[in-house]
Amino acid sequence: MPTAEAPAARRPARVRRRLRTRIILSFAVFGLALTALIAATTVYLRNRVENQVLGAALEKNNNAFAEGFYLNPNAVGIPFEKIQGRQFSTRKLDRVPPEWRDLPNGVHEISMRDPVTHQTRAYKLAVRKDPDYWFFLAYDIAEERESQRQLVHALIASVGVFTLLSLLIGWWSASRVMSPVTELAQRLRRSGASSAPAPLAPHFADDEVGELARALDDYAARLTEVVQRDREFNADVSHELRTPLAVIRGAVELLLAKPDLDERTRVRLLRIQRAEQQCSDLIGALLLLSRNERGVGQCDAAKVAQQLLDSHRAQLGSKPLELRLEGRPSLPVEVPEPVLAVALGNLIGNAVKYTPSGAVVVRVLDAAVEVVDSGPGLSAEDAARLFERGYRGTHAGLSQGGGIGLSIVRRLCALYGWDVQVRPGAEKGVVATLRFAPGRAAQAQASTGSSQP
């Protein structure tokens, strides 16, 4: 059901953060990613170098241990600081620790339980298995693992510190970068209410923000020129059109005052008089719309509806259509009569135009006016687009009109805070409802109630 304030088709909402927030987040994410990459690279390179250095040293020392054993077979083991060398005969492999027995030649990392302290310790173990003897060189790396754990904790802390530092730098940078844009927006907001806004470019440096300020100045100048031309055009139209209409009105009144006027000529003059009044009302309403200002005045909606029905009744000719007024005898509305005549006249005019036979009933309600016809009805497409400028309904056919009457009604309703709805009738036809603003409706009801005995 279309209304005067029906929202346009909504586009999918897109969540957009403020530019300042995006700059700060960019710095924070960049700092986090960079420090995390550096930390991960540091841990990887440290482990790689440690494994290579320890592995090469253990293998070299294990080979030296084996060669020394062959030179002095009576040696049982060679104790070093943090290093333990042991050899076993292949005839007594049951003495080999179970964790070492199945390891191939090379360097391995194993964990063993210390029989004295009963603590699990990590070792780098170099293995050499000859046909007669097996040689093992174990290096205690528990301290290295502890230092590696401390390094990881320090790197994690550094990632957090550098991320926080990046966040602070981003906040400071965003404040510095966005301050000219914020100042530009504030100046633009302050100058928005002025008819001749002050230039913005002199207040900013010759950079991107200054270029934006110059573009806004240029746009404001062109917009001011367009508004000035529009005001001059409205003033010219108001003067140039009202003058010939006044001449027509005066001439018609003089002709209608003649006593020897025949009835056929009188009917035609009355039609010219009504057309002149409609033109004057439409010019007044359009001027208010162009200025976006509400006219001051008061009129009776029931009286205006009766005048409009009389005007259309005189133009029916042989069309089998009944026009009648129902409801309240009076409904005061705080609006100039020409404005209400244009809004209500378009609704009644559409009902009369698209109803080939039957009746058009105007009901004056407590705070609204309904126009009910017995025409062909309303399609779903018409209901959705009826108030669009230039749209003509599916039943328009070859009838005259540019499809702007209901668009004018919608704009007048938006200006005065009214509501207009068009819906299909209960059985057939269309029901158009013009509902006035609640405050004005309450005041109108109070005014009418106080006048009744």
Query: How many percent of the chain have pLDDT more than 90?
Result: 6
Please tell me the predicted confidence (pLDDT) of residue 11: 45
Question: Does 12 map to a domain?
Answer: no
Cα end-to-end distance, the chain, whole Å = 39
**Residues 312, 437 within the same domain:** yes
Report the 3 state secondary structure along the chain.
CCECCCCCCCCCCCCCCCHHHHHHHHHHHHHHHHHHHHHHHHHHHHHHHHHHHHHHHHHHHHHHHHHHHHHCCCCCEEECCCEEEEEEEHHHHHHCCHHHHCCCCEEEEEEEECCCCCCEEEEEEEEEECCCEEEEEEEECHHHHHHHHHHHHHHHHHHHHHHHHHHHHHHHHHHHHHHHHHHHHHHHHHCCCCCCCCCCHHHCCCCHHHHHHHHHHHHHHHHHHHHHHHHHHHHHHHHHHHHHHHHHHHHHHHHHCCCCCCHHHHHHHHHHHHHHHHHHHHHHHHHHHHHCCCCCCCEEHHHHHHHHHHHHHCCCCCCCEEEEEEECCCCEECCCHHHHHHHHHHHHHHHHHCCCCEEEEEEECCCEEEEEECCCCCCHHHHHHCCCCCCCCCCCCCCCCCCCHHHHHHHHHHHHCCEEEEEECCCCCEEEEEECCHHHHHHHHHHHHHHCC
Q: Identify the CATH number of the domain in which residue 336 sits.
A: 3.30.565.10
How far apart are alpha carbons 272 and 263 in whole angstroms?
Answer: 14
**Residues 304, 436 within the same domain:** yes
Summarised one tens digit per residue, pLDDT across range 221-249 is: 888 777 777 777 767 766 677 777 778 88
Please tell me the predicted confidence (pLDDT) of residue 379: 72
Q: Tally the domains of the chain.
A: 3
Please tell me the predicted confidence (pLDDT) of residue 14: 44
Summarised one tens digit per residue, pLDDT across range 413-436 is: 888 888 988 888 777 888 889 999
Q: With cut-offs at 50, 70 and 90, classify the pLDDT of residue 6.
A: very low
Q: How far is CA 81 from the centre of its chain?
A: 71
Please tell me the predicted confidence (pLDDT) of residue 281: 76
**Residues 429, 334 within the same domain:** yes
**Residues 234, 273 within the same domain:** yes
Question: Does 13 map to a domain?
Answer: no
How far apart are alpha carbons 181 and 80 in whole angstroms?
Answer: 70
| 9 has pLDDT over 50 | no
Please tell me the predicted confidence (pLDDT) of residue 399: 52
How far apart are alpha carbons 170 and 414 in whole angstroms?
Answer: 45
How far apart are alpha carbons 337 and 300 in whole angstroms?
Answer: 8
Q: What is the mean pLDDT of residues 61-79?
A: 68
- Domain end point (choices 293, 327, 355): 293
Strands 120-129 and 368-373: unpaired
**Residues 383, 402 within the same domain:** yes
| 442 has pLDDT over 60 | no
**Residues 27, 134 within the same domain:** yes
Summarised one tens digit per residue, pLDDT across range 258-277 is: 888 888 888 888 888 878 87
Question: Does 393 map to a domain?
Answer: yes
Question: Does 9 map to a domain?
Answer: no
**Residues 377, 255 within the same domain:** no
Looking at 48-57, 208-217, 408-417, 434-443, which range is the least confident one? 434-443
Please tell me the predicted confidence (pLDDT) of residue 302: 92
Please tell me the predicted confidence (pLDDT) of residue 364: 92
**Residues 209, 64 within the same domain:** no
How far apart are alpha carbons 110 and 92 in whole angstroms?
Answer: 22
| 345 has pLDDT over 60 | yes
How far apart are alpha carbons 340 and 285 in whole angstroms?
Answer: 9
Q: With cut-offs at 50, 70 and 90, classify the pLDDT of residue 363.
A: very high
Question: Does 403 map to a domain?
Answer: yes
**Residues 279, 336 within the same domain:** no
Q: What is the mean pLDDT of residues 15-30?
A: 70
Question: Does 183 map to a domain?
Answer: no
**Residues 241, 318 within the same domain:** no
**Residues 119, 206 within the same domain:** no
- Domain end point (choices 125, 148, 171): 148
Structural domain span for residue 263: 192-293
How far apart are alpha carbons 305 and 273 in whole angstroms?
Answer: 17
Summarised one tens digit per residue, pLDDT across range 191-211 is: 765 566 778 778 877 777 788
Please tell me the predicted confidence (pLDDT) of residue 156: 83
Question: Does 179 map to a domain?
Answer: no
Summarised one tens digit per residue, pLDDT across range 147-157 is: 778 878 887 88
Question: Does 356 map to a domain?
Answer: yes
Q: Identify the CATH number of the domain in which residue 248 sits.
A: 1.10.287
Q: With cut-offs at 50, 70 and 90, classify the pLDDT of residue 97.
A: confident
**Residues 196, 273 within the same domain:** yes
| 3 has pLDDT over 50 | no
Please tell me the predicted confidence (pLDDT) of residue 370: 92
- Domain end point (choices 93, 127, 148): 148
